[in-house]
Structure 1
Amino acid sequence: MKRFSVVLMALAVLAPAGVTLMAPIPALAQGRDGTGLGPAQVRALRVELSVAITAATNARGAAGAARREAEASRADLGRVGQLLGLPPDASPENVVQAAARWVEQDADNRNKLADMTEIVDRIETGEIRDRAAFFVEEARTAFEDGRLQDADRALEQLAFLRQSASVEAGDLWIGSVTTRAAFARQRQDFEGAEQIGLQARQEARRRARHDDFLLTSDLGLTAYQRGNERGDNAALLRAIDYYSEAASLVDRAESPDDWAATQNGLGNALQTLGSRESGTARLEEAVAAYRLSLEENTRERVPLDWALTQNNLGNALQSLGARESGTPRLEEAIVAYRAALEENTRERVPLGWAATQNNLGNALTTLGERESGTARLEEAVAAYRAALEERTRERVPLGWAATQNNLGTALQSLGERESGTARLEEAVAAYRASLEEYTRERVPLGWALTQNNLGTALQSLGERESGTARLEEAIAAFRASLEERTRERVPLDWAATQNGLGNALQSLGSRESAPARLEEAVAAYRLSLEENTRERVPLDWARIQSNLGGALQSLGARESGTARLEEAVAAYRAALEENTRERVPLDWAWTQNNLGSALGTLGQREGGTARLEEAVAAFRAALEERTRVRVPLDWAMTQMNLGATLMTLGARESGTARLEEAVAAYRASLEEYTRERVPLDWALTMENLALTYEALFEKSSDPVWLDRGQVAARDALAVYQEAGAEYDIGTSQDLIARLEAKRAALP
């Protein structure tokens, strides 16, 4: 049974200083002064993040950004998150990114004040210079003491400069306004920052177009940070407007760097908003903005900026590709990431290189899951392992954990396409490694997500083993995940884990004689569908409908009536309305297989052959996409199901043609369903083969069929007994007894 797991996409978006794309962070608590962080919080943050602040001071650009994030991840994240006012369930990435950004702002504001002092020195000696020097020094002293609001008030006094005819005085006034807005952003007072910019822009428009551009761009940054960090989509819309207006205020030919930076900022705002909306229009606009930026940020002129914008472009393309049924966007994303790596080299920016390798792995995994082969998934594994060479546990523990989780997902996808269990074992190991840093106490939602992914890998392993220990572990992992992934907190994640729990319960229930686990599985799927609606997430809705159909079918097979089986058929047919062959060929084939199985079971209970013929058609349709080369174990499953239906049809017809086709289908299945590889599936196929031999005996009276049937049934029983599969033990014992009785009755 196919599953979908949540991938922890630790997308490190690399951008020029001050323009960073990150996951949304909830609104921050107010400081003592009622306007964001107070002096005590600022001072405490500087202590907690002292090493990262040193990194920010000593290294700028891409290298500085990578070092800030690396050092911030080493801090006491619980304490840092508390000081920043983040909720206890903030993801580790959000805490690290918020901390790294705060460190960057602290360093930038210190530099802004130094720049203002230099401008003061250029003003002609006199009263204006003396007053300006006094207020700038007051602001610098307050800033170093953590009193950001007092620093803001000191710079506010420089408003008198806007009346001066001096160019230097005008520059100092503009600098004071952007620095005051930066102080407000550092205090997390985004409303205040925006108001400062709006008021100053009105005055600037009376002065010069370039001043207007600078202030409008700064307004864009303020609105973007507010929208990104507080989940405020209205602020993101304002950021888009500000950046668009700023682009119209700058002459591309005269100031190509300013124009390119504005396009990059516009792309970031569009991408963040687009990731929250259901359509793709904003993401398309983000791609266009990044591509415009790259027209000026060329590789020859600014190689690192070019690489960083290529990385951002890759992220936007990957988000688009994840929403589309085709693969061109994902292919483009891979091209963009690989281009970025040509300049973002390991020697030049090791952590930036590792972040782009991680992003490349994410795109390759998404693409690989849509293709029939394994080449892309192998490339994804290689990219993640390359990233882990720099993203070490000692250096960036949470980045290491995120990439371990992503590696686990790629390995799991590979393992589900291979006949052995080695890749799945590696996936389990990667998830468990991730949980060494993603602890429940430290990052509860990150811990829950990785528990969910671990559950899916354990379930895949459990389905291939004869015992039930792995399936029990999978159920425990899903239930642990649901302790933090509540419906109130993260409804879609809660629904995804309910689906995973249903899958594990269904796999376990199919091996037990009692129906309790299957009933629990049905309940879990129906809970999942309450949030995973067709309107909201059509493909996920279709997958869960198919999963629900599987549980209903298993229950129906154990009941005397047909109501559950009819429900199962309805669920599968509903799934096929969204799981079309054109959109998702392997999912379509998977659902066709399941539909055929339900129709076959119904047909066994009815007198005619119509349901059975429909079942054969469904299985043969599935095999058009489920080929042996593409998905060997799935192909074997469908061959076995086809054999079972042909056997039932053959038993109702006068000749032996259908029964001979059934034997051929079972033998084909056993080419991949070996006893060593998948013992329970092998046993089930052997039991079905024994039943077909029994039917052939009934048609021909040749005792050789009974002898073959007894051998096959006994082999199946031996495996069931090893696995402790109570229900299957009973059915195979009944079959052996029946075959022995028929053999004994012969003359």
Structure 2
Amino acid sequence: MRGYNKTAIALAGAALLISVSSTGQAFAADNPVSAGACSVAGGRDASNNNLTCNFFGLTPEQFKEAIEAAAKGGAAGATGPLLDRIVDISKTLGVTAGATKTLLRIVGEDANIPDEKLAETLTRVANDYKKLQAVAAALNPANSTAMNLVKQARPEIENGHFELAHELLRQATQTQIAAAEEARRLRDQAQTAEDAEMLGAADSTAAEAEVALTERHYSQAASLFRQAVEYVPPGHEAVHADYMERQANALNAQGDERGDNAALRDAIEIYRQRLVTYPREREPLSWARVQNNLGITLEILGERESGTARLEEAVVAYRSALQEFTRERVPLEWARTQTNLGVTLQRLGERDSGTARLEEAVTAYRTALLERTRERVPIDWALTQNNLGNALLKLGERDSGTARLEQAVAAYRAALQESPREQVPLDWARIQNNLGIALKALGERERGTARLEQAVAAYRAALEESTRQRVPIEWATAQNNLGNALKALGERDSGTARLEQAVTAYRAALEESTRERVPFNWAIIQNNLGEALRMLGEQESGTARLEEAVAVDSAALEERTRERMPFKWAETENNLGRALQALGERERGTARLEQAVAVLRTALEERKREQVPLDWATTQNDLGNALQKLGGLESGTARLEQAVAALHAALEERTRERVPLDWAETQNNLGHALRKLGERENGTARLKEAVKAWDACLTVTSSAWPANKVEAIGAAERDTQAMIARRSGK
């Protein structure tokens, strides 16, 4: 199960955040297992801990040789140093040579595991194997034949003969079921015996489910746990509830790791049944654990759906869990659930127009850090720091200043101090991804490109660990975010290379983030792709890119509806308006430009100044541009006056101190609108205002914008000055 949270969307640029925290892993009731030269190390938010093994400096190549030898026959097919190596691994694990061969073979069957991760994967498989050994050792069926079969299964498990173990445990199950059927015929005298046999059948079936879990066959494990539930006789509610929960946990793993939404829905239903059949008053902490796991599963599914109903249900589940997971009774479980609650509140905040949910998320994370201290639980502290950074980033994107963004960068850098790549590579990659988002947001508000280049570097670092084979949805997330940073750099380049790279990154992301699989993320990437296509189309002579941009934005609006997510809807409406304007500039009529103005005015109905001042200013700027283009095709000055008013409004929030490059862009646009007005008037006042606006623009852009764009402004300014001189008779 995962130890992180998946995607969240950045408003400007629509980046996808990854939260690295508790929400991805369900709590388990079992205890961790430790043996041999291996030790238990907590690295996730579940009660199941990981077995960490020291393989005495074996290189990835040496490990791979051992795995290949195991696949060809194991120690029996190896000689000399290779034989010694396999024997050493078995001693390190504290298991038999036969089991070592099987564990190596299981690892070797997964071709997607990089060589440098073979030892880490073997450690995880060995941890599952230790748990399997403990379960097998505890089996004690009342049926003597079944007991003999179990005794036969134990050495097969010890020696790694899992196929035989499957068969023997199945035979034990069938033996006990057969005995139970006989007992039913003698129910009056043998009710107790029947129950014992069925409990034994349930136990052995659950043991087989643990075999399937060790093999990472989650669906098979869930099916076996379901059979175990069915075998439990009446009067054994605790056992029944335990197997139900384990079935739901297996379905959670299937849904989370394999993208199986149906499995997540099944898990939710089973968790809810479990809460009814074994209520709070029977075992309060167990009830709270199931509430937390229900919240986790609802949050995972809610991230993938367009609406917010599942996320709201997750908040209810977490708050229910906190009624029993109190700080005084179980401080670390309390902190873990606070973190999970924060993640879900943040997801809701990303889809709300206000900031209340995001502020609640920040409070939840900071509350969790009261117990999740760096000294006590450094990895958990780092995961919560990452999530705190995510919430601060989202708030920073809606603020005019940069204080929240700087705080987010500081939180991510703090998290990286306790998330080394060698120990937790995927968590490290997720935090690198999030750091890139914050750096990009800061870079967009600065003159230079240093922060943007740092963002690109952070995303590319994340992609080294978040590979498509290992974590396809997260790979798509990082590809989308890389596209955003490249697009931002492309806006400041004179060529199209960065924009072409951005389009390539977005198209790659859409190969995994499909509408059917993750509609919310799909719409985000479509939105970003539409912007990149528009920017490319504006630099080309044809209209193909622009037409595609309109189509892509329109498709995104099918998921980004005004009712579901008003801010995101307004963002894509704004982008659609820009694309329509660019098309309208290349057509003879005014239909496209009229559409652009209408769309941008609609966007302003949700992009209110008091809620998102910089986004409001962006749309005012774009509306001014569209009105200026439309006014240029008309004989009067009404549209041009409206354009000047919109651009002046934009400058009330787009100040030089807050966003110097955006301020300069609006000054440039204002210069063009004033020039057109001045051409239609007799005096020189408007023309002089235009020159003043361009002068202001050049104080910022002369060293920041491409040379050809700076020269174009200079040429417009000189031409306007010449017009002023002619009208003044000079």
Q: Which residue of 2 aligns with 1:473?
A: 498
Aligned-partner Cα distance in 1 for 2:320–2:247 = 21
Is the 1:66–1:352 contact (alpha carbons within 8 Å) kept by the matching residues of 2?
Answer: no
Per-residue CA deviations over 1:582-641 (Å, capped at 9, x if unaligned) read 664433321221121121122123211111122123223333443444333222322332
> What does 1:674-685 correspond to in 2, within 5 Å?
674-678=701-705, 680=707, 683-685=711-713
Aligned-partner Cα distance in 1 for 2:697–2:126 = 60
Matched, 1:515 2:541: yes
SS in 1 for 2:322: helix
Aligned-partner Cα distance in 2 for 1:226–1:113 = 24
1:529 aligns with one of 546, 549, 553: 553
Is the 1:56–1:65 contact (alpha carbons within 8 Å) kept by the matching residues of 2?
Answer: no
Paired AA for residue 472 in structure 1:
A
Aligned-partner Cα distance in 1 for 2:675–2:473 = 50
Is the 2:38–2:54 contact (alpha carbons within 8 Å) kept by the matching residues of 1?
Answer: no
- Residues 414, 97 of structure 1: CA spacing in aligned structure 2 closer, same or farther, 3 A cutoff? farther
> What does 1:617-656 correspond to in 2, within 5 Å?
617-656=645-684
Matched, 1:146 2:162: yes
SS in 2 for 1:240: helix
Q: Which residue of 1 aligns with 2:18?
A: 9
Is the 1:70–1:396 contact (alpha carbons within 8 Å) kept by the matching residues of 2?
Answer: no
Aligned-partner Cα distance in 1 for 2:108–2:348 = 32
- Residues 599, 90 of structure 1: CA spacing in aligned structure 2 closer, same or farther, 3 A cutoff? farther
> What does 1:299-314 correspond to in 2, within 5 Å?
299-314=327-342
Deviates more, 1:591-600 or 1:551-560: 551-560
- Residues 287, 546 of structure 1: CA spacing in aligned structure 2 closer, same or farther, 3 A cutoff? closer
Q: Which residue of 1 aligns with 2:82?
A: none
Is the 2:537–2:544 contact (alpha carbons within 8 Å) kept by the matching residues of 1?
Answer: no
Matched, 1:58 2:21: no
Matched, 1:320 2:329: no
- Residues 189, 255 of structure 1: CA spacing in aligned structure 2 closer, same or farther, 3 A cutoff? same
SS in 2 for 1:58: strand
Aligned-partner Cα distance in 1 for 2:568–2:265 = 29
Per-residue CA deviations over 1:636-694 (Å, capped at 9, x if unaligned) read 322332232233223323444434444444444455x2423346565454444434433
**How far is 1:415 from its partner?**
0.7
**How far is 1:378 from its partner?**
1.3
Aligned-partner Cα distance in 2 for 1:344–1:476 = 41
Q: Which residue of 1 aligns with 2:485?
A: 457
Q: Which residue of 2 aligns with 1:243?
A: 271
Paired AA for residue 13 in structure 2:
F
Is the 1:475–1:501 contact (alpha carbons within 8 Å) kept by the matching residues of 2?
Answer: no
Paired AA for residue 146 in structure 1:
F
Per-residue CA deviations over 1:59-110 (Å, capped at 9, x if unaligned) read 46859967569999x9999x99996999999999x99999998665444333
**How far is 1:358 from its partner?**
2.5
Is the 2:486–2:499 contact (alpha carbons within 8 Å) kept by the matching residues of 1?
Answer: yes
Aligned-partner Cα distance in 2 for 1:68–1:8 = 29
Is the 2:280–2:287 contact (alpha carbons within 8 Å) kept by the matching residues of 1?
Answer: yes
Aligned-partner Cα distance in 2 for 1:408–1:61 = 24
- Residues 101, 678 of structure 1: CA spacing in aligned structure 2 closer, same or farther, 3 A cutoff? same
Is the 1:16–1:308 contact (alpha carbons within 8 Å) kept by the matching residues of 2?
Answer: no
> What does 1:208-247 correspond to in 2, within 5 Å?
208-247=236-275
> What TM-score comes out, normalization by structure 2 length?
0.75
> What does 1:142-181 correspond to in 2, within 5 Å?
142-144=156-158, 145-147=161-163, 149-150=166-167, 152-156=169-173, 157-158=175-176, 163-164=191-192, 175-181=203-209
Deviates more, 1:440-449 or 1:602-611: 440-449
Q: Which residue of 2 aligns with 1:257?
A: 285
Paired AA for residue 597 in structure 2:
V
Aligned-partner Cα distance in 2 for 1:669–1:52 = 66
Aligned-partner Cα distance in 1 for 2:120–2:428 = 15
Q: Which residue of 1 aligns with 2:80?
A: none
**How far is 1:522 from its partner?**
0.5
SS in 2 for 1:369: helix
**How far is 1:381 from its partner?**
1.3
- Residues 261, 176 of structure 1: CA spacing in aligned structure 2 closer, same or farther, 3 A cutoff? farther
**How far is 1:568 from its partner?**
3.9
- Residues 556, 91 of structure 1: CA spacing in aligned structure 2 closer, same or farther, 3 A cutoff? farther
- Residues 393, 619 of structure 1: CA spacing in aligned structure 2 closer, same or farther, 3 A cutoff? same
Please, which runs of 5 or more residues in structure 1 have no aligned partner?
21-50, 121-127, 704-747
Is the 2:23–2:296 contact (alpha carbons within 8 Å) kept by the matching residues of 1?
Answer: no
Is the 2:206–2:225 contact (alpha carbons within 8 Å) kept by the matching residues of 1?
Answer: yes
Aligned-partner Cα distance in 2 for 1:685–1:463 = 16
Is the 1:354–1:390 contact (alpha carbons within 8 Å) kept by the matching residues of 2?
Answer: yes
**How far is 1:509 from its partner?**
5.9
Is the 2:533–2:549 contact (alpha carbons within 8 Å) kept by the matching residues of 1?
Answer: no
Q: Which residue of 2 aligns with 1:136?
A: 150
- Residues 256, 483 of structure 1: CA spacing in aligned structure 2 closer, same or farther, 3 A cutoff? closer
Is the 1:55–1:68 contact (alpha carbons within 8 Å) kept by the matching residues of 2?
Answer: no
Matched, 1:114 2:137: yes
- Residues 132, 176 of structure 1: CA spacing in aligned structure 2 closer, same or farther, 3 A cutoff? same
Aligned-partner Cα distance in 2 for 1:4–1:81 = 44
**How far is 1:561 from its partner?**
5.4
- Residues 348, 170 of structure 1: CA spacing in aligned structure 2 closer, same or farther, 3 A cutoff? farther
Matched, 1:603 2:631: yes
- Residues 211, 484 of structure 1: CA spacing in aligned structure 2 closer, same or farther, 3 A cutoff? closer
Aligned-partner Cα distance in 2 for 1:70–1:419 = 49
Q: Which residue of 1 aligns with 2:379?
A: 351
Q: Which residue of 2 aligns with 1:26?
A: none
Aligned-partner Cα distance in 2 for 1:288–1:190 = 27
> What does 1:697-716 correspond to in 2, within 5 Å?
697-701=725-729, 703=730
Paired AA for residue 478 in structure 1:
V
2:507 aligns with one of 482, 485, 508: 482
RMSD: 4.6
**How far is 1:8 from its partner?**
5.2
Paired AA for residue 153 in structure 1:
R
SS in 1 for 2:328: coil
Is the 2:667–2:694 contact (alpha carbons within 8 Å) kept by the matching residues of 1?
Answer: yes
Aligned-partner Cα distance in 2 for 1:232–1:443 = 14
Is the 2:553–2:572 contact (alpha carbons within 8 Å) kept by the matching residues of 1?
Answer: yes
Paired AA for residue 372 in structure 1:
S
Q: Which residue of 2 aligns with 1:279?
A: 307
Aligned-partner Cα distance in 2 for 1:82–1:529 = 48
Per-residue CA deviations over 1:280-330 (Å, capped at 9, x if unaligned) read 222122112112222222233223222222222222222222222222222
Aligned-partner Cα distance in 2 for 1:52–1:104 = 8
Aligned-partner Cα distance in 1 for 2:364–2:211 = 35
Q: Which residue of 2 aligns with 1:385?
A: 413
Aligned-partner Cα distance in 1 for 2:239–2:148 = 24
Aligned-partner Cα distance in 2 for 1:661–1:371 = 30
SS in 2 for 1:318: helix
Q: Which residue of 2 aligns with 1:39?
A: none
Is the 2:477–2:509 contact (alpha carbons within 8 Å) kept by the matching residues of 1?
Answer: no
- Residues 621, 628 of structure 1: CA spacing in aligned structure 2 closer, same or farther, 3 A cutoff? same
Is the 1:656–1:699 contact (alpha carbons within 8 Å) kept by the matching residues of 2?
Answer: yes
> What TM-score comes out, normalization by structure 1 length?
0.74
> What does 1:380-459 correspond to in 2, within 5 Å?
380-438=408-466, 449-459=477-487
Deviates more, 1:544-553 or 1:96-105: 96-105
Is the 1:401–1:438 contact (alpha carbons within 8 Å) kept by the matching residues of 2?
Answer: yes
